[in-house]
Amino acid sequence: MFAKKVQDYKERIFDVNEIKSFDNEQAKKTVFYETGQTVGAVWCLKPGQELYFHSHKQADDIWICIEGDSGTYYPECGESVEISKGMICVARPGEKHGMKNTGTTDFVFIGIAGPVPLDLILHELE
């Protein structure tokens, strides 16, 4: 009676392998859901690609790294932390963040942010 097929939940259950998509020119973001509170996206970066250094005035931005041998996370101007598959990066409102795929394999992370709508404040890394 309580069992339902997965397709009955297609707006709630997602397969990252069906969502992820790469662009040979730049990091690619694919939004897979959005509510009045949060937004979820899959970010895909080929080796050498960067995700712009930025912040959000009112939003948390959580990155869950699911693929990639090596990346550099920028938590602040002039600072860097090595990241890889299995790590979680949290940026609270006003905290700067960005990253570069410094590895030899594709890098994929899931980003969850909110509240929405998100503002975007771009910053210089140095």
pTM: 0.91
Residue 44 lies in a domain: yes
pLDDT in single tens digits along all 126 residues of the chain: 455 665 678 889 999 999 999 999 999 999 999 999 999 999 999 999 999 999 999 999 999 999 999 999 999 989 999 999 999 999 999 999 999 999 999 999 999 999 999 999 999 987
CATH number at residue 47: 2.60.120.10
Strands 107-114 and 39-45, how do they pair? antiparallel
Residue 96 lies in a domain: yes
Residue 66 lies in a domain: yes
Residue 55 lies in a domain: yes
Residue 10 lies in a domain: no
User: 95-111 burial, b if ≥16 CB within 10 A, otherwise e?
Assistant: ebbbbbbbbeebbbbbb
Domain of residue 97 covers 26-122
Q: Around Cβ 53, how many Cβ atoms within 10 Å?
A: 20
Per the structure, the count of domains in the chain is: 1
